[in-house]
Structure 1
Amino acid sequence: KTTGNDGEKNSFVNLLGLEGSIDEANRLAKDLQRRFATFDENLQSALKPLIEDYLYRHKG
Structure 2
Amino acid sequence: MIAGRDARGKKNAMIIELKQWQKAKTCEGDGIVRTFLGKRERETVHPSYQASFYASLIKD
Q: TM-score range by the shorter chain?
A: under 0.3
Higher relative contact order (CA 8 A, sep 6+): 2
Q: Which has the higher helix share?
A: 1
**Could you state the TM-score of these two structures normalised by the residue count of structure 1?**
0.26
